[in-house]
Amino acid sequence: MPRQQFRFCHRLRVRWAEVDRQDIVFNGHYLTYFDVGMTEYCRAAGIPYPEGFTEAGTDLFAVATRLDYHGSATFDDLLDVCVRIARIGHSSIRFEFEIHRDQAHLVSGELVYVNADPATREAVRVPEFVREAVRRFEGRDPSGRD
Amino acid sequence: MPRQQFRFCHRLRVRWAEVDRQDIVFNGHYLTYFDVGMTEYCRAAGIPYPEGFTEAGTDLFAVATRLDYHGSATFDDLLDVCVRIARIGHSSIRFEFEIHRDQAHLVSGELVYVNADPATREAVRVPEFVREAVRRFEGRDPSGRD
Amino acid sequence: MPRQQFRFCHRLRVRWAEVDRQDIVFNGHYLTYFDVGMTEYCRAAGIPYPEGFTEAGTDLFAVATRLDYHGSATFDDLLDVCVRIARIGHSSIRFEFEIHRDQAHLVSGELVYVNADPATREAVRVPEFVREAVRRFEGRDPSGRD
Amino acid sequence: MPRQQFRFCHRLRVRWAEVDRQDIVFNGHYLTYFDVGMTEYCRAAGIPYPEGFTEAGTDLFAVATRLDYHGSATFDDLLDVCVRIARIGHSSIRFEFEIHRDQAHLVSGELVYVNADPATREAVRVPEFVREAVRRFEGRDPSGRD
């Protein structure tokens, strides 16, 4: 998927403590970058995380993730974390991510969340205002079956 | 895949700083747990990481990972990080992981590494002594095509 | 202060993701090690954290810390995190720490917590059962003025 | 020391994974914020870290730190990490830090580095161009005895 399919990218700089002895970002830290990207995407789309969900009585919980590392980032690199919501199912939201450093495409990935009752962890339908906000922000209908 | 398929598990305790506002381990930290498990697996199998590789002039670089979160761990939990090498290809090694808390199966995942020249990042065949050590430790032949 | 003044040490192994490009543990991670040591000390002393405090309606909040780095730890090192409660004031508890790798004394430090109401953050007197547990565990009276 | 004594502040946003069960930033992460602030200070002062040092054959190693926590930051807070070099001794550099959220002064601290030969860890005099750059950036002479 080419980068232009993303309407939203967030820029961040690699920190010293995120780089390991191989002089590259430790593989787990990209999930922190995804998380930062997801927070900024939600803010931009008008459904600030977590209030946009917790005020409706639910919260998002990660259920699956996948990352492909094509290249590696190192200290002080400026990275573009590109984010989109690819699909909203009954109770799930699937984010897709790409991380780029200038023209170099370093990481691809996705993160699937379930919208659930924080107490019982039971899945709850993603509210209509979230679907509507994403429809407006992405310019397409993200809803579909899980 | 049932837990008994793993010949190796490493026990660790969840740290305070790994638990977030939802009172669960942040999703990215499971990759740190996988990494700790991989290190201990290699030690147990007689190919201590990274010397077992770097002394032969190569090193392992993550190329892909996948995690499925079935449940969530919280502060002070004792977790069993179960690890196996499922497949060794020409230059790749695929680790499989499960994380359990007592009888609760919390996380499944895999992590694929490529054995590469650290300078050029070009893929290099996984050395025979690594294949032999894993064959002995797992009691089966892990080699196959990538 | 020589190591024998500590009645309690907790052993842990340095993780890959904690080591930076200088091939040493990033300075901030020693506070994670202190935190792990504090948790294990409280467990050993019979005042498990945080329940020992939260069940009495208060919690501990860090107010000051100090670290001196005499040497550096690296990947896979086995470290002894030695912990003692040096002083319990009206509402404060001062922990002292030393981190050793075999005979090498790598880090010294302290961490002062205030016992406070989680809602108001107002300081509350450290409960008598905590003082008593520490008195028994340390074999001396830790109470004093802040 | 009032905030206006700092000629340099760097703004960052608290990440989800940095906030713990108490709904505040874990105490150790402030050292990551200090480190980010130190990197940006050096860039602004014209001595980019680490090249400004490693190209001269030395590197900086933390020898001591101190933090006072006056308040606490939480998820999504925008923080100003204010940084100054308070003193350059023969081979040491002492950074001072303050972290503010709007008008709230949350953390004060310092971090002392020694300029050393990376191989032997022996202290080496801080180069004249570093002293000169700081003199220009701070508008005062930072040199003094350790």
CATH number, domain at D117? 3.10.129.10
pLDDT tens for chain A, 146 residues: list them: 456 789 999 999 999 999 999 999 999 999 999 999 999 999 999 999 999 899 889 999 999 999 999 999 999 999 999 999 999 999 999 999 999 999 999 999 999 999 999 989 899 999 999 999 999 999 999 987 55
How much is the pLDDT for D110? Answer: 98
Chains adjacent to A (≥3 CB pairs closer than 8 angstroms): B, C, D
Residue labelled with tokens 């009172």: B23
AA identity, residue A71: G
Q: Is A116 helix (H, G, I), strand (E, B) or coil?
A: strand
Interface of D with A (CB under 8 A): 15-17, 32, 35-36, 39, 76
Nearest to B20 among D17, D28, D29 (CB): D17
Structure tokens at A7: 């309407």
pTM of this prediction?
0.96
At residue B4, the pLDDT reads 73
Contact D60, D118 (CB under 8 A): no
Alpha carbons A128 and A115: distance in angstroms, whole number: 12
Residue A143 resides in a domain: no
**What local confidence, expressed as pLDDT, does residue A113 receive?**
98
Indicate if the pLDDT at residue B1 is higher than 90.
no
Number of domains in chain C: 1
User: What pLDDT is recorded for position D4?
Assistant: 74
Buried b (16+ CB within 10 A) or exposed e, C61-98: bbbbbbbbbeebbebbbebbbbbbbebbbebbbbbbbb
For residue C66, what is the DSSP state? Answer: E
Low-confidence ranges of chain C (pLDDT < 70): 1-3, 145-146
Interface test with B, best of D15, D16, D27, D75 (most B CBs within 10 A): D16
Mutate to test the interface with B, among C26, C29, C39 (most CBs of B within 10 A): C39
B-chain residues within 8 Å CB-CB of D17? 20, 26, 28-29
Contact predicate A110/A94, CB 8 Å? yes
Q: What is the ipTM of this complex?
A: 0.94
Residue A31: list chain B partners with CB under 8 A: 27-28, 31
CA dihedral A99, A102, A105, A106 (to 10 degrees): -60
Query: Is B144 among the domain residues?
Result: no
Token digits of residue B134: 């894993």
Does residue C92 lie within any of the structural domains? yes
The verdict on residue C28 lying in a domain is yes
pLDDT score recorded for residue D2: 57
Q: The sheet that has A78-88: what strands, in order across it?
A: A8-13, A78-88, A92-101, A104-116, A59-69, B59-69, B104-116, B92-101, B78-88, B8-13
Q: Who contacts D21 (Cβ-Cβ below 8 Å, separation ≥6)?
A: B16, B19, B20, B21, B23, B75
φ and ψ at C72, to 5 degrees? -135, 145
What percentage of chain B exceeds 70 in pLDDT? Answer: 96
In a domain, C145, yes or no: no
Q: Does residue C2 lie within any of the structural domains?
A: no
Per the model's pLDDT, the better-predicted residue between B33 and B143 turns out to be B33
- Residues of chain D contacting residue B26, judged by C-beta atoms under 8 Å apart: 16-17
Between chains, do C28 and D31 touch, taking CB under 8 Å as contact?
yes
> Beta strands A92-101 and A78-88: pairing type?
antiparallel
Nearest-by-Cβ selection for C15 from B16, B32, B76: B32
**A51 lies in a domain?**
yes
Full residue range of the structural domain in which residue C27 is found: 7-138
pLDDT, average across residues B110-137 = 95
Confidence at residue A108, expressed as pLDDT on a 0 to 100 scale: 98
Q: CA angle, corner C86, sides to D74 and C135, nearest 5?
A: 110
Whether the per-residue pLDDT at D144 is higher than 80: the answer is no
Tens of pLDDT, residues B74-111: 999 999 999 999 999 999 999 999 999 999 999 999 99
Domain presence at residue D144: no
Of A109, A110, A128, A112, nearest to A61 (Cα)? A112
**pLDDT given for residue D33 in this prediction:** 98
Chain B residues with beta carbon closer than 8 angstroms to that of D75: 21
| Helix residue ranges, H only, chain A | 29-45, 51-54, 128-138
The pLDDT of residue A13 is 98
Chain D residue whose CA is closest to B22? D21
Tokens of D67: 């933090």
Angle between helices C128-138 and C29-45 (to 10 degrees): 90
Q: Specify the pLDDT at position A85.
A: 97
Q: Provide the CB-side half-sphere exposure for D100 (13 A, CA).
A: 16
Backbone angles phi, psi at C89, to 5 degrees: -90, -155
Residue A96: CA count within 13 A, CB half-sphere:
14
The confidence score (pLDDT) of residue C11 equals 98
CA distance A86 to A88: 7
Contact list, B76 vs chain C (CB under 8 Å): 39
Residue C105's alpha-carbon distances to B4, C5, C71, C72, in angstroms, are: 42, 14, 7, 9
| Contact across the interface for C28 and A17, Cβ inside 8 Å | yes
Partner residue facing D28 (CB), from B17, B21, B28: B17
Question: From C40, which residue of chain B is nearest by alpha-carbon distance?
Answer: B76
